[in-house]
Amino acid sequence: MNFDDTPQEAAFRAEARAWISANAPKQYEDELRASSLGRTALKNANILEVAKAWQKKKADAGWACLHWPKEYGGRGASPIERVIWQQEEGPFGKLSAMFIIGHGMCGPTVMAYASEEHKRQYLPPLASGEKVWCQLFSEPAGGSDVAGLRTRAEKRGDEWVINGQKIWTSGAHYSDYGILLTRTDPTVPKHKGLTMFFLDMKSPGVEVRPIKQASGHSDFNEVYFTDVVIPDSQRLGTVNDGWNVALTTLMNERMSIGAGVATGFPELFDFCSSLMLDDGPAIEDRNVRSKLANWAVKASGLKYTSMRAISALSKGERPGPENSIGKLVAGSMVQDVASYALDLQGAAGVLSGPEAEFAGRFQAMLLRAPGTRVEGGTDEIMRNIIAERVLGLPGDIRVDKDLPFNQVPTKGRA
């Protein structure tokens, strides 16, 4: 049992560290380091431009999408090298947020299902950040139940015509391309009538409307499709096999281990270390200490769970559904941590913004936190995944499993 690099890993780490130290946009390091959930922004620069420039610089030097093959813009690196890179990239890794979906989900799906010509055409600019991709799965009628989606694709000669609406599409407003899951046969059960495509987000008939979130920010969008035309050559997988293609996409989400999940604990520990209560420093208060200790062991438990997963990865094991716990634990923890930090601030906890206590970081965290428990799989879906795929418990009884999709009820109360 040890935390030491192998000589090969150490050499890779040294090379990565030297390159990052010589090339990273250091002027933003402090701001990025201090940014918490709900507050990744730069005061005097457009974060999207800074992120794109950093990604391009990495790609030119062979440090983008490390685990992708070289011919598609990657480095052909091993999974453990990818983890080492993330560790070394540190706060600059926060600049990758806008590329996560493209690199983590769209890219691998294109790689698995597109023609060779398309892969060589589309993957390198995706890797370099010159083109940004989004994932168009969720719909008003299909969130956790994504196979309940209703956006139609109808065949017309060599083309498909798309009509419908997607929702919760991260980054659609700055994306160049998207992968799109549609319904191509409503007369068969829901999982059997889906087909996947990729499309140019600038196609006529695509309309992107930002959603104003409960936090007041807009990270997600609604995307409307009105008679949008997609050539059949941009189909991913066979007709009506879209559910299996989507599973490839979703499986890749789990590869993103080791990046670390925000728990809010380091911020809370710092805050309690500096805050003075009536009877003295907050961190000397018995109640505060008990709360801190409980969250400390969750944060360390997640950290060392991820170390165990990385160790398994370096032995060639594939990460499995057990990695769902990171998001499940951190999601509600960050919400509880933020709420407790405000409680410690008393009436002044109601004030938000950069002038507020602790630069308003906990207020921003509190307002962003509900989203983290929903996006990318709700807490309840995560628990289902653990219960069914790790513990082997039976799936839910699905009343719509064998019904043709067009006979599935659409309203709760008639």
42 vs 328, beta carbon nearer another protein: 328
Quick one: which of 181, 195, 197 has its CA closest to 230?
197
- Residue among 147 and 310 whose Cβ is closer to another protein: 310
Q: Quick one: 10 or 351, whose CB is closer to another protein? A: 10
Q: Which residues of 194-209 are buried (b: 16+ CB within 10 A; e: fewer)?
A: bbbbbbebeeeebebe
Q: Which residues of 238-259 are buried (b: 16+ CB within 10 A; e: fewer)?
A: ebbbbbebbebbebbbbbbbbb
| 3-state secondary structure at position 150 | coil
| Residue with the two structure tokens 């790689």 | 111
How far apart are CB 56 and another protein at their closest, in Å? 31
Nearest distance from residue 282's CB to another protein, in Å?
A: 11
What is the enclosing helix (H) or strand (E) of 197? strand 194-200
Contacting residues toward another protein, per CB under 8 A: 1-5, 9, 80, 269, 273, 283, 286, 289-290, 292-294, 296-298, 300-305, 307-308, 310-312, 314-315, 322, 325, 328-329, 380, 382-384, 386-388, 390-397
- Least Å distance, CB 388 to another protein, is 8
Report in angstroms how near the CB of residue 302 gets to another protein at its nearest. Answer: 7
Nearest CB to another protein, comparing residues 14 and 387: 387
Shortest Å distance, C-beta 217 to another protein? 29
- Closer to another protein by CB, 222 or 322: give it: 322
What spatial distance separates the first Cα and last Cα of the chain, rounded to whole Å? 60
Closest distance of CB 62 from another protein, Å:
24
Specify the length of the chain in residues. 414
Of residues 174 and 304, the one with the C-beta less far from another protein: 304
Measure Cα distances from 88 to 23, 30, 175 in Å. Answer: 13, 16, 28
Q: Report the C-alpha gap between 99 and 373 in whole angstroms.
A: 21
